[in-house]
Structure 1
């Protein structure tokens, strides 16, 4: 699970969406705390309700908004989409398929695949960083990249 790299509680945004069409909402958390983000973006966690608790089914290390739920599905779960940029990566949109147990942890490597503008529902917009003063722990301001074509 993503761990805070600073002594303060991490800042985050959350959204709820029924990713597996079982009538219960999964909790999608985008951790945008300064020490949990890097040039490749910030961490994304996906939790599914199991009884009265949540189980982690996605711990995606890096990605930028817009973050979307796609219409495509794998193993009964909707694919997620993130923007990939930074750290030398060519900017692009990546789709993350569910493998039956969870979402891949790295959006820049298979089984993630190019999004190619699939229709989806936006969970987190690119303006998410305008809502707060988030700065990198060591390197300065967080500046989200331009959205990939």
Structure 2
């Protein structure tokens, strides 16, 4: 099956648009009331390899969820019956967040960056591979079980240029 360049670009544009797309009212309510996050960047993704469920990544931009240099908190929500539940919370995260083609317990591994150091002691953004353990992803990308990544290669689902969204607090 041959696809035209225009078709491929349209598909890629549509997929890219999902990362910055506003979540449903139900998800916004969870972000505001359950997580207590008012400013964030979000992405609708399928981390479950079967595609049976969708996940929503919430990169909190509120000062209480971000450190001075240590990055911000990333929440991963998943479908749960009629609503969503928090699968994981990761601290110290810097953008971009990437989804890898590799699976752990049926879910895609993630690549996240954090403020670390090079071998000579100079500060740098360091990238880690975060594997799903069957229940959640690791909390902290700077310590095991997170694994260092030399060459980031995943599909970017959250990037610094994604729009910052606001949730409505009720």
1:135 maps to which residue?
A: none
Say whether 1:76 aligns with 2:106: yes
When the two chains are superposed, the root-mean-square deviation of aligned CA atoms in Å is: 2.5
The structure having more radius of gyration, on CA atoms, is 2
Q: Distance in 1 between matches of 2:39 and 2:46?
A: 23
5+ residue gaps, structure 2: 1-30, 165-170
Residue segments in structure 1 that go unaligned for 5+ positions in a row: 133-149
1:138 maps to which residue?
none
* 1:132-147 matches, cutoff 5 A: none
- 2-structure distance, mates of 1:27, 1:66: 15
Contact 2:90 2:140 in 1 (8 A): yes
2:60 pairs with 1:31: yes
Q: Provide the aligned length of Structure 1 versus Structure 2.
A: 126
Bigger strand fraction: 1
Listed as ranges, the matches of 1:29-108 within 5 Å are 29-38=58-67, 39-85=69-115, 90-108=124-142
Where 2:64 maps in the other structure, the secondary structure is: helix
Deviation, 1:16, is 0.9
Q: Aligned pair 1:19/2:80, yes or no?
A: no
For the residue of structure 1 that corresponds to 2:114, the secondary structure is strand
Give 1:118 shift.
Answer: 4.7
Q: Deviations over 1:64-115 (max 9, x none)?
A: 0011111111111111111111699653101110000000111111110012
Q: Is the 8 A contact 2:109 2:131 kept in 1?
A: yes
SS at match of 1:40: coil
TM-score (norm 1): 0.74
Distance 1:118 1:63 in 2: 15
Which is richer in helix?
2
Q: Could you tell me how far apart the structure 2 residues matched to 1:83 and 1:121 are?
A: 14
